[in-house]
Structure 1
Amino acid sequence: MNILLWILQWLLAVHTAVGAVWKFTNSEQAVPSLAAIPHSVWVALIAFEFLCALGLVLPAFNKRFARGVVLAAAGIAAEMLLFCAIHIYSGDPNQGPLVYWLVVAVIAAFVAYGRKALQPLR
């Protein structure tokens, strides 16, 4: 289980860092259903995602940061669910992004649960 959680943590960290870079190079207008997000919040999400990506991988280098994994993964799951809610509220008929965000939210929630209850880092 520990190996699976580490693999998921690294994949989630890479995914989140790439998402932050994408947000940096694109505006919130790039995804029509997310156009309701104010630009300042969009920019704050970039920093939030980089911090979450770091929180997922830092324990590999220093166990002192182990608690950050649960917080980072839970934060990513919450962000993805927020995107889902905004997408549903926008009325956009395209369900592709919704499914994508839900899958990422489930993976992030599994990592958070796994590191909290199944295989905590010590």
Structure 2
Amino acid sequence: MNIFLWVLQIILALHTAMGGIWKFSNSEQAVPSLSAIPHGAWMAMGVFELVLSLCLVLPAFYKPLAFLVPIAAACIAVEMLVFCGLHIASGDTNYGPMIYWLVVAAICTFIVYGRLALKPFTYAAIA
């Protein structure tokens, strides 16, 4: 289970880092349902996502920072749920992006559950 959680964490870290970088090169207007987000908050979310992606993989190099993994995954899940709420509030009837965000939130929730309940305090790097 530990290896599976690490694989999910690495994939989520790559996904989140790409999302953070994408936010620097694209406006919040690129996704019409997210246009309610102010530009400054959009940029701050990009930086925050890069930090969160780092927090997901840092325990592989420095084990005492393992407590950051469930916190980072929970923050990403909350962000995805906020995106879903904004999408619903915008009245957009294309639910494709919302399904995507809900899948990412579910993966994040599984990582939180896995690191806190299934494998508590076993953050050994791929072992």
- State the Cα deviation string for residues 21-63 of structure 1 (Å, max 9, x = none): 1111000000000000011110110111011101100000010
What TM-score comes out, normalization by structure 1 length? 0.98
Matching residue of 1:6: 6
Distance 2:73 2:26 in 1: 24
Q: Distance in 1 between matches of 2:26 and 2:53?
A: 19
**Alpha-carbon separation, structure 1, partners of 2:52 and 2:70:** 10
2-structure distance, mates of 1:121, 1:56: 15
Counterpart residue number, 2:125 = none
Q: What is the one-letter code of the residue matched to 2:117?
A: A
Give the counterpart letter for 1:85 in structure 2. Answer: G
Q: Distance in 2 between matches of 1:55 and 1:113?
A: 17
**Match in the other structure for 1:34:** 34
Task: Quote the Cα distance in structure 2 between the aligned partners of 1:90 and 1:97.
Answer: 13
What residue is the counterpart of 2:91 in the other structure? 91
**Which consecutive residues of structure 1, in runs of 5 or more, have no partner in the other structure?**
none
Q: 1:14-93 counterparts in 2 under 5 A?
A: 14-93=14-93
Shift in Å, 1:120? 2.2
Distance 1:121 1:48 in 2: 25
**Cα distance between partner residues in 2 of 1:50 and 1:26:** 15
* Residue of structure 2 equivalent to 1:120: 120
The aligned residue for residue 105 of structure 2 is 105
Percent identity (aligned): 61
- Structure 2 runs not aligned, ≥5 long: 123-127
Aligned Cα root-mean-square deviation (Å): 0.7
Count of residues in Structure 1 that have an aligned counterpart in Structure 2 = 122
